[in-house]
Amino acid sequence: MKYPIMLSQAEISGSSVTLRLKVPKEIIYFDGHFENMPVLAGVVQVDWVIQYACELLKIEKRDFKKIDQMKFTKVMLPEMEVNLFLQLKGDVLSFKYFSDEAVSSARIVFASGKLRRA
């Protein structure tokens, strides 16, 4: 299993969405990261953001430029339930994972004029 279980989806507008996710312990990314305390890697969190944004906000992946303001404030553990907020403004996709407190957040910037609706 590579992706979390989507428990609910609430669309705020055509350019933003909030998801409720459960991160099962069977996610393959927990294997070996770390042996005595499995933690979901930040790169996996970003991959999920891009996948959900492509699917739900109907964007195509094009010319990724950089990630800005990346913050990890709490580790994501097996069986954790989190909310994922996605917002697209121009060529910038902002995201925030949170539960009772912030987990991680960032802005994914695409080359100007290259991000398109699918």
Summarised one tens digit per residue, pLDDT across range 45-65 is 999 999 999 889 888 777 778
Q: What is the pLDDT of residues 73-117, one digit of tens each?
A: 999 999 999 999 999 998 899 999 999 999 999 999 987 765 656
Domain span including residue 35: 5-117
Q: Residues 6 or more apart from 115 whose CB is under 8 A from it? A: 59, 60, 62, 63, 88, 90, 91, 93
pLDDT tier at 118 (50, 70, 90 boundaries)? low
> Domain holding 92: CATH number?
3.10.129.10
Helices and strands, counts by H and E, the chain:
1, 8
What is the pTM assigned to this prediction? 0.90
Q: Assess contact for 16 and 87: CB atoms under 8 A.
A: yes
Query: What tokens were used for 35?
Result: 């042996």
- Rounded CA-CA distance 50/93 in Å is 9
User: Which pLDDT score, from 0 to 100, does residue 22 have?
Assistant: 98
Count of domains for the chain: 1
User: Which pLDDT score, from 0 to 100, does residue 61 have?
Assistant: 74
